[in-house]
């Protein structure tokens, strides 16, 4: 279960991880993308924390809606609309559930729909699916999230910018998988 206070704490932790790893995320996006994932996420999350402070949303649903709207409007790259759709779906789901696995499932479905991606295409869908399966099995851990991040190296990209590289996308961590790992680690840290 996730209450509004825990979610707020998790978003603060997520923002800290994103700001601390801004250069690393852009470095991951350089060989298989356009090198902007760190800047995109850092801008998106600092704007999100400002919006949360100004709006002081009082429910889990309204908190996630503020995150969604800010990420959609402030992030230029693909990750803005993708994370934005995920948080919007999580906001809707939070009206009737505070079970983290129900929320993540709603977010995952929205990302798949928005990005027209499925598992195994070297996108953030892979780690959202893995984290959902772990939550449902009661085995979620930061160690397993790290393994999923490492495993993204061995996947051939068939969606997003990295797919333009074909075989040359192999051997590199997917940046969106790494940023999603920071989000999920933050959720685990407040449980
Ligand atoms: P852009 O690719 O527009 O520069 P970012 O660099 O911010 O945007 O984000 C790239 C990340 O977005 C990728 O690492 C991948 O995880 C995710 N991504 C890209 N396209 C898709 C898609 N169609 N479906 C799901 N995730 C995607
Ligand atoms: Mg990019």
pLDDT tens-digit profile of 164-180? 999 999 999 999 999 99
Residues with beta carbon < 5 A to ion ligand 2? 29, 33-34, 36-37, 77
Model pLDDT for residues 91-141, shown as the tens digit of each residue: 999 999 999 999 999 999 999 999 999 999 999 999 999 999 999 999 999
Q: Does residue 90 register a pLDDT over 90?
A: yes
Among 79, 149, 181, residue to substitute to test ligand 1 (most atoms within 8 Å of Cβ): 79
Model pLDDT for residues 142-156, shown as the tens digit of each residue: 999 999 999 999 999
Question: Distance from CA of residue 89 to its chain's centroid?
Answer: 13
pLDDT band at 76 (very low <50, low <70, confident <90, very high): confident
Q: CA 4, CA 8: separation in Å to the nearest integer?
A: 6
Provide the token pair at 9.
């704490």
Q: CA 83, CA 180: separation in Å to the nearest integer?
A: 9
Distance 125 CA to ligand 1 centre (A): 10
122, containing H or E segment: none
Is 34 touching ligand 1 by the criterion CB < 6 Å?
yes
């Amino acid at each position: 279960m996730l209450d509004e206070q825990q979610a707020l704490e998790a978003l603060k932790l997520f923002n800290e991880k994103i700001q601390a790893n801004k250069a690393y995320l852009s470095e991951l996006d350089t060989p298989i993308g356009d090198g902007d994932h760190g800047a995109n996420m850092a801008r998106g999350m600092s704007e999100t924390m400002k919006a949360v402070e100004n709006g002081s949303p009082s429910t889990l649903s309204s908190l996630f809606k503020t995150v969604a709207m800010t990420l959609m409007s402030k992030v230029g790259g693909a990750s803005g609309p993708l994370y934005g759709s995920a948080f919007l779906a999580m906001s809707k789901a939070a009206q009737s559930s505070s079970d983290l696995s129900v929320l993540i499932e709603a977010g995952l479905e929205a990302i798949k729909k928005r990005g027209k991606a499925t598992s195994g295409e070297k996108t953030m869908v892979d780690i959202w699916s893995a984290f959902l399966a772990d939550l449902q099995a009661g085995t979620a851990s930061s160690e397993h999230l790290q393994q999923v991040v490492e495993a993204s190296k061995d996947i051939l990209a068939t969606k997003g910018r990295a797919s333009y590289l074909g075989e040359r996308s192999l051997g590199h961590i997917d940046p969106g998988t790494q940023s999603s790992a920071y989000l999920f680690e933050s959720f685990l840290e407040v449980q």
